[in-house]
Amino acid sequence: QQQVKQSPQSLIVQKGGISIINCAYENTAFDYFPWYQQFPGKGPALLIAIRPDVSEKKEGRFTISFNKSAKQFSLHIMDSQPGDSATYFCAASMGNTNAGKSTFGDGTTLTVKP
Amino acid sequence: DAGVIQSPRHEVTEMGQEVTLRCKPISGHNSLFWYRQTMMRGLELLIYFNNNVPIDDSGMPEDRFSAKMPNASFSTLKIQPSEPRDSAVYFCASSLQGSRGKLFFGSGTQLSVL
């Protein structure tokens, strides 16, 4: 049973544009929602994360929007740059229970064209 | 901090051989996770440890897979005997309990079973 569904599978954006990746979850016990960025040959690296008690979190060009009632959250990358080209994974965990065990979405391959 | 260290970076072996993957978590982190990444199945959690104790091994595909964490600074994932379908990138990640599942990944081991 896939608990975190991510879309789209791939995304092509022009430099300077906005990249939007969406995720939906099923388990209402999840209480921590991180996004990871992965470059080829590297492990995923934490990019930004949100807790369900806030609806939005912004760090530089990266913003998470969270809709608790719809059980959805999304990553917005403003002013996308070629260096942002990578695979992005959303995840969900039950915070401090289960040692922070995370369930990942299937990933979105982002290509930013110069 | 050196981050999570995995070895080897690449492993090529023949079907039937034993494979041992190694991981050194970040010092002070008390949770350790083994993930497998493939194109078909994405990031799958195989097993995780908390304070060196295996908590959930339900993701281990079959008895050919085993994992140990003899101390807080070392873990191994062993496949015996290996099969071509085990070919994947295996990631180790660690986290600090109380960090809400903020994972730090190693660079992974690319395993090819011929």
Tell me the mean pLDDT in the region A39-61. 94
- What's the confidence (pLDDT) of residue B97? 76
- What's the confidence (pLDDT) of residue B52? 93
Residue A2 has pLDDT above 70, yes or no: no
A36-50, A66-80, A82-96: which range is least confident on average? A82-96
CA atoms within 13 A on the CB side of B114: 4
Chain centroid, CA B15 distance in Å: 20
What CA–CA distance (Å, rounded) separates B49 from B59?
A: 13
What CA–CA distance (Å, rounded) separates B52 from B75?
A: 9
- What's the confidence (pLDDT) of residue B102? 87
Query: Could you tell me the pLDDT band of residue A101, with boundaries at 50, 70 and 90?
Result: confident
Tell which residue, A114, A58, A64, has the closest CA to residue A90: A64
What string of pLDDT tens digits covers the 114 residues of chain B? Answer: 689 999 999 999 999 999 999 999 999 999 999 999 998 888 999 999 999 999 989 999 889 999 999 999 999 999 999 999 999 999 999 998 777 778 999 999 999 999
Residue type, B17: Q
- A interface with B, Cβ–Cβ below 8 Å: 31-32, 34, 36, 41-46, 49, 51, 89, 91, 93-96, 98-107
B100 touches chain A (CB under 8 A): yes
Residue type, A61: R
* List of residues 6+ apart from B71 with CB closer than 8 A: B52
B72 touches chain A (CB under 8 A): no
Reduced to 3 states (helix: H, G, I; strand: E, B; else coil), residue B20 is: strand
Residue A107 structure tokens? 């990933």
- What's the confidence (pLDDT) of residue B1? 62
Residue A43 has pLDDT above 90, yes or no: yes
B114 touches chain A (CB under 8 A): no
Query: Could you tell me the pLDDT band of residue A102, with boundaries at 50, 70 and 90?
Result: confident
Reduced to 3 states (helix: H, G, I; strand: E, B; else coil), residue B102 is: coil
- Decide if A44 and B55 are in contact by the 8 Å CB cutoff: no
- What's the confidence (pLDDT) of residue A100? 66
Residue A99 has pLDDT above 80, yes or no: no
Nearest to A99 among B48, B105, B107 (CB): B48
